[in-house]
Structure 1
């Protein structure tokens, strides 16, 4: 049995929509959200259901990575509560002059806005959850 671990790279709106669809409903702990400012990299370690395999409900650990991130703002997220689990509802973006604002939308009206100069996102599965 081959384990199919997805790797999706998005550089435009369509790619972001694919990643958004694949991560909808994913769970992420506050402690698993990282912004590496010096590298301009924003990382989310998520637990998601593999929706792209129609007949399976396998859960996988995945990394969702955004590059060229200049600024991160969050709203309605208690960052001091590292055990808090958020549910990702979707990802969208706005074009703002020369920048993009990528919005990670979570349940309970929580969201994270990433200011980037270009869309460069990837979703990479790490391991299946037994």
Structure 2
């Protein structure tokens, strides 16, 4: 089965767009969003539908990881509501002087902005949801 598990590594706009396309519509629990500030790692555990293979329509658990993240800001996300499930609409970024701001855009006008010195993102499938 593991041959269907994707691993996409992005360090530019194209790669980020690919990750964005693959994770569009993914479900994310608030409890599955983590920022490890000492490691500058931002993790998102998502449940997504495979679009990039002939396995289309299969649900899969994936980890979306961003490295070199200096700062995280969220908007319109109630972090105390542990059962809250967000839907990831897409990922884009802005270049800001020497930094990038990577925006994770969710439904209900919620978003998370990551300030990072370089684009270093990966989407790694964990397992299929039966």
Aligned to 1:16: 16
1:26-81 residue CA offsets vs partner (Å, 9 max, x unmatched): 00000000000000000000000001024621000000000000000000000000
Residue in structure 1 matched with residue 93 of structure 2 by the alignment: 93
TM-score (norm: length of structure 2): 0.97
CA RMSD of aligned residues (A): 1.1
Q: Quote the residue 2:83 is aligned against.
A: 83
Aligned to 2:70: 70
CA distance in 2, matches of 1:57, 1:90: 18
Residue in 1 that maps onto 2:118: 118
Aligned to 1:35: 35
Show structure 1 runs of 4+ deviating over 6 A: none
Q: Which residue of structure 2 lines up, in the alignment, with residue 103 of structure 1?
A: 103
Kindly tell me the number of residue pairs found equivalent between the two proteins.
130
Structure 2 unpaired stretches of 5+: none
Residues 3, 93 of structure 1: CA spacing in aligned structure 2 closer, same or farther, 3 A cutoff? same
84-93 or 52-61, larger mean C-alpha shift: 52-61
After TM superposition, the structure 1 = structure 2 runs for residues 1-12 of structure 1, keeping only pairs within 5 Å, are 3-12=3-12
Distance 1:38 1:111 in 2: 22
Q: How big is the shift at 1:126?
A: 0.2
Q: Secondary structure at the match of 1:38?
A: coil
Quick one: distance in 1 between partners of 2:54 and 2:106?
A: 24
- TM-score (structure 1 length as normaliser): 0.97
